[in-house]
Structure formats: structure tokens, C-alpha cells
């Protein structure tokens, strides 16, 4: 991105709309822009940059603060970045670079004070202090700062907390002075809800060693009312064992991947009707909850939520309607596992969900319709209905034969009420063996009184359907072999549920012999029926 390279007269403001947050390659961007000396603006963001080589090379007049979003991460190419930037004197002491890179990087920068220049890797004590202080920050503070909505925290206040943490965890370091960078002294940390952009604190140790501290995501505390009516505030992530009857404000934190709601108390009877829009995961939120309904969560705005794993796992929640927006959810793993749930969720948009493994595992009360769900992205449904003993909804249109599905194991085991016709068509390797389903005892039907093949088939199928009501007889074909024997086997084609075949035996008490033939489907009378009709007409004459 050599946008202003050799633009010797350029000195216009970039404004606050010059957004570079997605930029990676900034090679020579202002190289040779001899007149340029304007602020880069609040939108100038280099946190994704991989190449800043020659960025300000020969930009002789430039000496503006680079801003909190102009972050140079370790490993970024900074060769000759400021070479011949004669007036530059901003503090980049938070950056440590290889010695062979540092020298040309700062070559002929006569205004740049030594204490503001990047630190050479060979300055081992300084690098050690940088590394240790950053480790303390990441462990004690990153993703853990609690800020109320609409409020801020001064960076100077956080600095005092940093000093105490360093005293506690790194008393052996040779540290005599800690302060904020000059451009940080009057600045504040906000919730930064809208963009979720990490905010930066820059501190200076011993007047030479800079450290760049990433605030990460701020957290929100939970406000709850206990069983005695007293209000409490807490930053705890798991409130499941707290005796609370009402949650007035739902807390959240960053778990490394998502902004996650705290786990609710098992005994809570009322929860805020507003789910904070910062939250992207409600996983485990009501796991083990002991109530049956929570009207206040019925109409939550969950449009920003992407993860709903184990939300109601092991809970007693029952007839609870959930009018939730699930259009951005990608995972619902074990969402209702081992719960009493049987609410209406047919309107959910699950097009982006890839994982529904164990979603209704052992959900013994669940039998609500999900027939309208479109599962365009679904990959894993292993054990999804395993143990859902009364479930019998039609999801036969789910194409689990598609290569997209990586795991369909045990999706329908321990589901005694689920009829085969309502299940997705299985893969070839998962076809059920019809010879293992129809017992040997049930293959001998005994005496039947019948006059033609159509009547014979009807009577055979009637007996089998009574004994095997879960079988999908539309996926089977019955062929009459003789007056005493027929074959039941799978239909041909892609959509098959069964494999192999069984011989059905019987004896016809009607003295008229049925002529044997092979008929291709359950529904046709075939040649035998026609012959029998001809015989009856002859007798009437």
C-alpha cells in the first residue's frame, strides 16, 4: 500500500474516516512524503499489519502521535520504517526488534530521543521486564476489567492497580519507576461495545522500557436479589450455587472466543427481560436450573448470539416457549440434553448451525415439531435424539447422506417412539437389515384365506404392520413367489432404509390355487389377479 509514496507536496488531513483496520500491507505508504505532518486519525489501525517496511522513510517533516490503534506487533516487518524521518520523535519504546533491524530502522532520525526508540533484543534485561509485566497484565487484567454501561475508567486509575500487581508478582525485577506514556495520561477506557475493538494502555518503566497492554474485552458484573431481598453485585462467572431469586442485570465476560453470559443460579425465578447485546454465547447459562418456566426469557433478543451449547442441559425447564432469533447461531451442542424441555421452537432459523450433537440426548419429554427446520450447514448430529424416548417428528427431508455431514452416529438409537418413515434416509453403511428386524417366528403367518394376489398382499402387510408399526413400509416391496411364500425386501434406488430380504411363509385355505408370479410392487394385482378374475367370470357363465 504505497498510497502516498513520493507525494512530496501532500500535507492534507486524513480525517476520521480513513479506516485501515483490515489492512495488512503498508509497505512505503508515506515514503518520500516530505511535507506530510498531519495526524493519522482515529481510524488509522495497524493491528492487522504484517508489513510496515519503509512506512515513513524520507517523510522528513512527520512527527505526529501515532495513536492507540497504530500498534506494531512483534514479528511485523519494520525494516527502514523511519529511515531519514528526521523530525520524528514519538515513543515506540514498547517495541523490541532484532539488532540488525533496529539500526536501519532508525537511521538518520536525528530528532528521535534514545529513550523513545524501540528496544534492541540484545537489551536482555529490558526485554525481560517487558515480557514479565505483559504476562502479569494478561493474567490479572486482560478481559477482566469491569466497566458499567455508559461509564469509563481512567487509565491513571488502572496504572495504580498495575503497580500493585507488579509488586506482588515481580518484586525481583529492577523497577524504579512506572508511568503512563505522555499521550495516555488523560485518556480513559470505555466499554467499546459497538466495535469490540481491543483498547490499549501504554506504560513506561524506568523511563526507557515501554510496554503495550491490551485491555481486551471489558466485563459486566451481575446484579441479583438474594432470598432475603438484598441486592448484590458480583463479577463471578458461575452463579449456579448462589441463592438468588432475581437477576436484575445479566453479567458477562470474554472466554477467549466469545462474550459469554454468566451461569445463572439454579434457584432463580426471575431474570432480566433484556439480554445484553454484547453477549455472543449463552452456553451453560441455565444448566441444572431447577425451575419449569421463565417467562422473562421468552422474547430475548438473541440476534448476536452464535453459541448455544448446553444452555438447558440437566435442567427441569418444561413447557417453555422460546421466541429467539437464532439466525447467527452456529452451535447448539447438548442444548437440551437430559432436560424436561418440550417447548415450541419450530420457528427457529438454524441455517447456520453446524453442530447439533446430543442436542436432545435423553430429553425424555421432547416431542415438539422441528419439521420446518432448514439444516443447510449442519455437520454433526451424533446422538442428537439418543434417548429421546417419545420423539416422533418428521425430519425425513434432512439429507444426512450428503458429504457435509461428518458425524451421524447413533442419531436415532433408544428412540422407541420414532417411526422409520419420519427419520432421515440413512447412509448405505447404516442401512438396517430387514432380516434382523423381522423375527423368524413372525415370518410364518400360518393360514390365510385369500382369492388373489392383491388380497394376499393386503393381509400379509396388515399382519406385519401390526407387529412392526415403526417400519417404513413405503420403503419395502412385497413380492408373491407362490401360493405359500412371499419375499419382503427393500425398494431399489437412492432413498433406501433397509437391506437384504426375508421370506414370508403362509398357507392359503382357499382351495383355488393361486398361480405364482413375481410382482414388482406392493400395490399391483399383477397377472394372477387377472387370471383369477377370468376364472370367476367363466364360472358365472
User: What nine digits make up the cell of 183?
Assistant: 499521550
The pLDDT value recorded for residue 529 is: 54
- What pLDDT score does 187 carry? 86
pLDDT computed for residue 192 by the predictor? 59
Tell which residue, 21, 15, 66, has the closest CA to residue 45. Answer: 21
**Residue 82, class by beta-carbon neighbours within 10 Å (0-12 exposed, 13-18 middle, 19+ buried)?**
buried
Say which residue the cell 516530505 belongs to: 34
Where b means 16+ CB within 10 Å and e means fewer, 406-443 reads: eebebbbeebeebebebbbbbeeeeebebbebbeeeeb
Q: Please write the tens of the pLDDT for every residue from 286-334.
A: 999 999 989 899 999 999 999 999 999 999 998 888 999 999 999 999 9
CA distance 84 to 76: 20
CA–CA dist 417, 397 (Å, integer): 19
pLDDT at 536: 53
Contact 286, 312 (CB under 8 A): yes
Q: Which residue stretches of the chain have pLDDT < 50?
A: 195, 513-525, 538-541
3-state percent helix, strand, coil for the chain, nearest multiple of 5: 15, 15, 65
State residue 320's pLDDT score: 87
Structure confidence at residue 91 (pLDDT): 93
The confidence score (pLDDT) of residue 530 equals 52
Question: In this predicted model, what pLDDT tens digit does every residue of 205-223 receive, in sequence order?
Answer: 999 999 999 888 878 899 9
Gap between the Cα atoms of 316 and 337, Å rounded? 11
Residues forming beta bridges with residue 499, ordered by sequence position: 433
Query: Measuring CA to CA, which residue among 98, 136, 132, 90 is closest to residue 115?
Result: 90
| φ and ψ at residue 502, rounded to 5 degrees | -135, 150
Helices (H), 357-510: 434-437, 453-467
For residue 511, the model assigns a pLDDT of 56
> What pLDDT does residue 518 have?
40
Residue 356 near residue 385, CB atoms below 8 Å: no
| CA separation for the pair 137, 23 (Å, rounded) | 27
**Which helix H or strand E contains 373, and what residues bound it?**
none
**pLDDT recorded at residue 515:** 47
| Cell reading at 186 | 488523560
Amino acid at each position: 500500500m504505497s498510497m502516498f509514496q513520493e507525494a512530496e507536496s501532500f500535507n492534507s488531513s486524513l480525517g476520521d474516516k480513513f479506516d485501515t483496520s483490515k489492512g495488512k500491507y503498508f509497505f512505503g505508504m508515506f515514503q518520500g512524503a516530505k511535507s506530510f505532518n498531519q495526524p493519522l486519525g482515529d481510524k488509522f489501525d495497524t493491528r492487522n499489519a504484517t508489513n510496515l517496511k519503509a512506512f515513513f522513510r524520507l517523510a522528513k517533516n512527520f512527527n505526529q502521535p501515532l495513536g492507540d490503534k497504530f500498534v506494531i506487533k512483534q514479528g511485523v516487518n519494520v525494516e527502514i520504517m523511519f529511515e531519514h524521518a528526521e523530525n520524528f520523535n514519538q515513543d515506540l519504546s514498547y517495541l523490541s526488534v532484532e539488532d540488525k533491524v533496529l539500526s536501519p530502522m532508525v537511521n538518520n532520525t536525528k530528532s528521535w530521543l534514545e529513550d523513545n526508540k524501540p528496544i534492541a533484543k540484545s537489551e536482555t534485561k529490558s526485554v525481560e521486564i517487558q515480557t514479565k509485566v505483559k504476562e502479569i497484565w494478561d493474567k490479572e487484567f486482560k478481559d477482566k476489567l469491569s466497566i458499567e454501561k455508559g461509564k469509563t475508567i481512567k487509565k491513571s486509575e488502572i496504572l495504580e492497580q498495575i503497580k500493585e500487581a507488579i509488586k506482588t508478582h515481580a518484586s525481583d525485577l529492577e523497577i524504579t519507576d512506572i508511568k503512563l506514556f505522555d499521550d495516555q495520561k488523560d485518556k480513559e477506557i470505555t466499554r467499546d461495545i459497538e466495535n469490540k475493538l481491543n483498547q490499549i494502555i501504554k506504560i513506561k518503566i524506568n523511563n526507557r522500557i515501554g510496554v503495550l497492554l491490551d485491555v481486551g474485552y471489558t466485563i459486566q458484573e451481575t446484579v441479583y436479589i438474594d432470598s432475603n431481598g438484598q441486592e448484590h453485585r458480583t463479577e463471578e462467572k458461575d452463579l449456579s450455587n448462589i441463592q438468588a431469586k432475581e437477576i436484575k442485570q445479566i453479567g458477562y465476560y470474554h472466554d477467549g472466543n466469545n462474550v459469554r453470559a454468566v451461569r445463572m443460579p439454579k434457584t432463580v425465578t426471575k431474570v432480566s427481560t433484556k439480554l445484553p447485546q454484547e453477549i455472543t454465547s449463552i452456553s451453560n447459562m441455565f444448566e441444572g436450573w431447577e425451575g419449569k418456566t421463565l417467562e422473562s426469557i421468552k422474547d430475548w433478543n438473541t440476534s448476536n448470539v452464535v453459541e448455544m451449547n448446553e444452555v438447558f442441559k440437566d435442567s427441569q425447564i418444561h413447557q417453555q416457549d422460546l421466541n429467539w432469533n437464532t439466525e447467527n447461531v452456529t452451535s447448539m451442542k447438548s442444548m437440551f440434553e437430559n432436560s424436561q424441555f418440550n417447548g415450541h421452537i419450530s420457528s427457529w432459523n438454524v441455517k447456520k448451525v453446524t453442530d447439533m450433537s446430543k442436542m436432545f440426548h435423553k430429553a425424555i419429554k421432547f416431542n415438539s415439531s422441528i419439521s420446518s427446520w432448514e439444516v443447510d450447514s449442519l455437520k454433526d448430529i451424533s446422538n442428537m435424539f439418543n434417548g429421546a424416548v417419545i420423539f416422533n417428528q418428521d425430519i425425513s427431508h434432512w439429507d444426512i447422506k450428503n458429504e457435509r455431514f461428518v458425524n451421524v452416529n447413533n442419531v436415532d438409537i433408544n428412540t422407541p417412539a420414532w417411526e422409520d418413515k419420519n427419520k432421515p434416509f440413512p447412509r448405505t453403511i447404516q442401512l438396517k437389515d430387514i432380516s434382523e428386524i423381522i423375527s423368524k417366528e413372525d415370518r410364518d403367518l400360518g393360514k390365510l384365506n385369500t382369492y388373489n394376489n392383491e388380497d394376499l398382499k393386503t393381509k400379509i402387510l396388515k399382519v406385519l404392520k401390526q407387529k412392526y408399526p415403526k417400519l417404513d413400509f413405503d420403503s419395502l416391496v412385497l413380492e408373491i413367489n407362490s401360493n405359500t411364500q412371499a419375499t419382503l425386501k427393500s425398494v431399489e434406488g437412492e432413498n433406501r432404509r433397509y437391506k437384504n430380504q426375508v421370506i414370508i411363509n403362509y398357507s392359503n385355505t382357499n382351495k383355488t390355487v393361486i398361480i405364482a408370479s413375481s410382482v414388482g410392487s406392493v400395490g399391483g394385482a399383477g397377472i394372477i389377479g387377472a387370471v383369477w378374475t377370468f376364472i370367476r367370470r367363466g364360472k358365472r357363465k
